[in-house]
Amino acid sequence: MCDKCSENPHHSLAPSRRSMMFFAASTLGLALGGTAFAKDAKAPPKPQNVLSPEAALKQLMAGNARYVAGVSRRHDFTHEREALVGGQNPYAAILSCADSRIAPEYAFDSGRGDLFVCRVAGNFAGEETVASMEYTVAVLGTPLILVLGHDNCGAVDATIKSLKDDKPLPGHIPSLVSAIAPAVKTAAQQSGDALENAIRQNVVDNVAKLKSAAPILNAAVEQGKLKVLGGIYRLRTGAVELLAQS
């Protein structure tokens, strides 16, 4: 140990005022949905994805219209891979069901790097999903989140039956039931088709959860940097029906 270090053994370990201020500024920038290192930020790999929430929604639904009409674009995946090696800036994030019949990248006729997709049976926002959405909004600058349910959802149907029969499902499936159960119970008070109502309510509930998730997502919504919406994918047509905003 050198003389200087022996005089103050904690000197090299103590954070400087400057480093503490930098950390605080970086954390605040992340919490507000901004870029913590703006000076070092590189140009986005897909400049066309730098959109307002409204423009992002318009682009997303235009892609779905092409998909429904059977006129999806031919994407140049080779050049997209090259452009995306150093980063990504998706224009929309999708919380979708894990159902094999639902493929957001196809349903919205998107290329690589366009959509940030989280999938789980029942399309609900668990802790990891909320964290993932915080990442895409705060770090990648994504301006739009769509919670995408679909008709004839097996996870929602299984939850309805499990609650009705008071019979727990095997393995880890009860964790899905617990997450979807609040929507099923709310929908049970509504008139009409029980499954359709529960599917819709599940989307509504998870849109509300993401919009109010503090401190990152709710701040981005309040600042107009983020829009969170819900939709239902129709298996027969491939069309996505947006739910009315509350």
Answer whether residue 94 shows pLDDT above 80.
Answer: yes
Average pLDDT, the chain: 87
Span between the terminal Cα atoms of the chain, in Å: 65
pLDDT at 42: 80
Count: domains in the chain: 1
pLDDT at 41: 64
Angle, CA of 217, 198 and 61, to the nearest 5°: 55
Q: Long-range contacts: 98-104, Cβ < 8 Å, 24+?
A: 99/150, 99/153, 99/154, 99/155, 101/150, 101/235, 102/148, 102/150, 102/233, 104/148
Q: What is the CATH number of the domain that holds 223?
A: 3.40.1050.10
Structural domain for 116, as ranges? 3-242
Give Cβ neighbours of residue 60 (< 8 Å, ≥ 6 apart). Answer: 91, 92, 108, 144, 146
pLDDT band of residue 35 (cuts 50, 70, 90) is very low
Answer whether residue 121 shows pLDDT above 50.
Answer: yes
Contact indicator for 53, 143 with CB cutoff of 8 Å: yes
What is the pTM assigned to this prediction? Answer: 0.84
